[in-house]
């Protein structure tokens, strides 16, 4: 059986984008693509929510949704002709971060037998106190001092307000409770993970598609963005290593820097994983892969711009995709 956790930056995405029939046919597998809460609905943490939680945490609702789906798979696999002892957990983009969290989560032990951290390997997490501080700012912006007040709000108002607070609309889980005692990067580094075989990799030009969001990118703006990305202490080295004169387009320079950060982080994570469990690294490098823009509204695409093997181009080889549906703003908690 294969369980696929979709991406979307932990703020968006839907299983409705993906058609699992192609994957099921190719692997003769049962494919499950669960829905889960994203954005503030999946990641809101406050001290009051933590206090009422059985595991002493909050901000992990999207992750808990995913684990509930895995438990459903465990209970129902045989009814579909599957084997609950052979469950491959695959995540792409924000979904690969979810797989990292599963590896670090004691409550996910035994729910899957192998894992793939696919496309953009980032295994970060928020710490619970910081997540609670952000959630408290969201609650204050809504005029709420109690959990009951938050639950009485229309979901649309919560979503709209969370987006006005820095970091308020993230669905990234918070580390610090029974379900996620350590952030995944720390857990992987010290070997406190669920030991299953892991595949981890990225696309060759991962960030080049995202760099289109900065088009047209001036030299001054490039220097500003690279300085912010690298940090003041590393900015000069980054600018020397990625000079604009080495690239046909300024956007390529930015995309290359960001891609290298993704790949270097993935290689470091793979090295840490390999000390604890069987680990397989890969790189997706088809520069002629179908464009990732098929997953949603097109980005500006200047004449001659080559996105290469950019973020999500690998998805086209596994799924048939279609634009995500609009979510009704009238939805309630």
CA–CA distances in Å: residue 157 to residues 46, 49, 59, 141: 18, 19, 18, 11
Summarize the confidence of residues 106-126 as an average pLDDT: 89
Q: Which residue has the higher pLDDT, 330 or 199?
A: 199
Q: Does residue 320 have a pLDDT over 70?
A: no
| Structural fold of domain 2-216+263-321 | Rossmann fold (3.40.50)
What band does 302 get if pLDDT is binned at 50, 70 and 90? Answer: confident
Q: What is the pLDDT of residue 328?
A: 47
* CB contact set of 165 (below 8 Å; sequence gap of 6+): 134, 137, 138, 141
Q: What is the pTM of this model?
A: 0.90
What band does 300 get if pLDDT is binned at 50, 70 and 90? Answer: low
Q: What is the pLDDT of residue 288?
A: 86
Q: Does residue 178 have a pLDDT over 70?
A: yes
Summarize the confidence of residues 129-152 as an average pLDDT: 96
Summarize the confidence of residues 54-62 as an average pLDDT: 92
Structure tokens at 163: 């987006």
Between 34-43, 165-174, 309-318, the lowest mean confidence (pLDDT) is in 309-318
E strand intervals along 111-191: 114-119, 126-127, 174-175
Q: Does residue 117 have a pLDDT over 50?
A: yes
Summarize the confidence of residues 228-247 as an average pLDDT: 96
Q: What is the DSSP string of 40-81?
A: HHHH---HHHHHH-TTS--S-HHHHHHHHHHHHHHHHGGGGT
What band does 71 get if pLDDT is binned at 50, 70 and 90? Answer: very high
Q: Does residue 299 have a pLDDT over 80?
A: no
What band does 318 get if pLDDT is binned at 50, 70 and 90? Answer: confident
Torsion on CA atoms 217, 218, 220, 226, rounded to nearest 10: 30
HSE-up (13 A, CA, CB side) for residue 141: 18
Summarize the confidence of residues 39-53 as an average pLDDT: 95
What band does 298 get if pLDDT is binned at 50, 70 and 90? Answer: low
Q: Does residue 126 have a pLDDT over 80?
A: yes
Q: Does residue 321 have a pLDDT over 80?
A: no
Q: What is the pLDDT of residue 240?
A: 97
Percent of the chain with pLDDT over 70: 92
């Amino acid at each position: 059986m294969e369980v696929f956790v979709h991406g979307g930056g932990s703020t968006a995405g839907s299983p409705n984008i993906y058609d699992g029939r192609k994957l099921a046919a190719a692997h003769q597998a049962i494919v499950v693509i669960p829905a889960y809460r994203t954005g503030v609905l999946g990641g809101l943490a406050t001290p009051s929510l933590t206090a009422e939680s059985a595991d002493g945490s909050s901000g992990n609702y999207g992750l808990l949704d995913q684990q509930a789906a895995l438990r459903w798979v465990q209970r129902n696999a045989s009814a579909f002709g599957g084997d609950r002892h052979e469950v491959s957990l695959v995540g792409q983009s924000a979904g690969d971060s979810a797989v990292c969290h599963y590896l670090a989560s004691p409550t996910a032990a035994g729910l899957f037998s192998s894992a793939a951290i696919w496309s953009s390997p980032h295994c970060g997490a928020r710490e619970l106190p910081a997540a609670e501080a952000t959630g408290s700012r969201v609650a204050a912006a809504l005029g709420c001092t109690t959990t009951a007040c938050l639950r009485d709000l229309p979901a649309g108002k919560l979503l709209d307000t969370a987006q006005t607070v820095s970091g308020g609309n993230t669905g990234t889980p918070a580390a610090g409770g029974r379900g996620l005692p350590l952030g995944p990067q720390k857990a992987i580094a010290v070997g406190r993970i669920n030991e299953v075989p892991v595949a981890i990799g990225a696309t060759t030009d991962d960030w080049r598609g995202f760099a289109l969001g900065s088009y047209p990118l001036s030299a001054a703006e490039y220097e500003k963005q690279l300085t912010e990305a690298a940090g003041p202490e590393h900015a000069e080295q980054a600018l020397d290593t990625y000079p604009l004169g080495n690239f046909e387009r300024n956007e390529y320079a930015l995309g290359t820097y960001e891609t290298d950060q993704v790949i270097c982080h993935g290689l470091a994570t793979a090295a840490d994983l390999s000390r604890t469990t069987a680990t397989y690294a890969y790189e997706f490098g088809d520069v002629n892969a179908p464009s990732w823009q098929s997953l949603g509204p097109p980005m500006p695409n200047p004449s001659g711009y080559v996105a290469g093997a950019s973020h999500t181009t690998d998805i086209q080889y596994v799924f048939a995709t279609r634009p995500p549906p609009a979510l009704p703003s009238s939805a309630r908690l």
